[in-house]
Amino acid sequence: MEIEDLLNPDNVLAGFRASSKKQALQALSRHMAEQVGVDCRDAFDGLMERERLGSTGVGHGVAIPHARMKGLDRIVGLFAQLAEPIPFDSVDDQPVDLIFMLLVPEEAGADHLKALAKVSRLLRDDRMCEKLRATHKAPALFAMLSQPATNAA
């Protein structure tokens, strides 16, 4: 599984503006609903339900909100680089400025975990995150995100 399997250029947002986690998840759910034809409210409700289990703010300014959804036939992602960091109840109590959202078919099983692992590995790379924060054009962000993984393990 590669990032391009999860993400397309229309689902990469640069300079995204939100003032709170809830507002960000609402707006990103709306965007995803327009792009992939899911119900906006269902997407938002699923994301908020997952946040109630524990924050998807994984630290270092990164969040990976995700939810299972009825009616999806594949895993879909959205990346947002925020114009200003927002509080996200992250594990390190730091605000978030990079969000990679995943919506997953209800029956995805192991593929859900593979997608989360792929995104997590990508965004654990401090150099990658620095580059993503320094870039302000969506096409350039997509190009960075979809680069083949290097062998620097």
Rounded to whole angstroms, the Cα distance separating 138 from 10 reads 9
Range of the domain at 94: 3-145
What's the predicted TM-score (pTM) here? 0.92
Q: What is the CATH number for 63? A: 3.40.930.10
Q: What is the pLDDT of residues 72-126, one digit of tens each?
A: 889 999 999 999 999 999 999 999 999 999 999 988 778 888 888 899 999 999 9
Among candidate residues 31, 60, 66, 112, the one labeled active-site is 66
Whether 153 is covered by a domain: the verdict is no
Whether 123 is covered by a domain: the verdict is yes
Structural domain count of the chain: 1
Residue 31 designated active-site: no
For residues 43-57, give the mean pLDDT.
93
